[in-house]
A and B are shown apart, each in its own frame.
Chain A
C-alpha cells in the first residue's frame, strides 16, 4: 500500500515500526538477559498495537483476534523467561 501522508493509520503504523526498531536495537545490544526479555516484551506489545492499527486500516475486525493472541503469547513468554532466570539463579 502506498504511504498516504494524511492517513492517521499510516502515521500510526510508521510510529509503531520506528518503536519496534528502537526496541530491536535494545534487544540486540542489551548487556544482560533480562534486558533482552524486557525488550522482547515491549516488541510483543508493539506488534499487538500494529495489528490493531492494521485492523482499522483494512476495515476488518478479525485482526483483533491476532492482537489478543499476540498479547497472550507475549505474557506467557515473559513469565516463562522470568521463571527460568529465577530457577537458574538458585541452583
Chain B
C-alpha cells in the first residue's frame, strides 16, 4: 500500500521535473520559461518530498520535508520575481506573440522611474489623482 503510493508520487514528481526541463528547452521566451520553472518544478519538488515522507514514515523526516516544502514554496516565487524584474529592466526581448505588456511605456530606461497604472503615461510628473479617465486602462481584456 505505502509502496504503491510512494512509487506513484515518485514517478509523478519526476515527470513534472521532466516536463519543466522540456518547457525550459522548448518555450519561446524567457518569461514563459520562467513560469514553467516556477510552477512545474515547484510542484514536482513538493510531490517528491511527500513521497519521501510517505516512504520513511518518521517524524524527523516529515518535519524536514515540511520545512523544505515551505522553503521552496516561499522562495520560488521570490526568485522568479527578482529574475523577471531584472530581465525586464535589462531588456530581454519578449515573445512576438505576447498580448499584454502592462509595463510598456511606464518604465523609463534612463531615469529608472516606474509609473503606476493610475498615472497617465505621457506626463512627466504624473500627479494624476486616479479619478480622471485613463486612456491606457480599460481597453485591454
Contacts and interface: CB of A to CB of B under 8 A. Distances in A.
A34 B14 contact: no
A64 B52 contact: yes
B50 to A, nearest CB: 10
A38 B33 contact: yes
A13 B17 CA distance: 11
Interface residues of A, number: 50
Interface residues of B, number: 52
Nearest to B44: A49
Contacts of A64: 52, 61, 64-65, 68
A22 B87 contact: no
A31 to B, nearest CB: 8
Interface string B84-117: 0111011010000000000000000000100000
A12 B49 CA distance: 13
Main DSSP-derived SS at the A contact region: helix
A88 B34 CA distance: 21
Interface string A2-37: 000000110111011011111101100000111101
Contact of A65 (B13, B14, B64): B64
B49 A68 contact: no
Given A16-B18, A23-B21, A38 B83 contact: yes
Contacts of B11: 8, 11-12, 15
Interface in A38-54: 38-39, 41-42, 45-46, 48-49, 52-53
A46 B41 contact: yes
B55 A49 contact: no
Interface of B: 6-8, 10-11, 13-15, 17-22, 24-25, 30, 33-34, 37, 41-42, 44-45, 48-49, 51-52, 55-56, 58, 60-61, 64-65, 67-68, 71-72, 75-76, 78-79, 82-83, 85-87, 89-90, 92, 112
Interface of A: 8-9, 11-13, 15-16, 18-23, 25-26, 32-35, 37-39, 41-42, 45-46, 48-49, 52-53, 55-56, 61, 64-65, 67-68, 71-72, 75, 78-79, 81-83, 85-86, 88-90
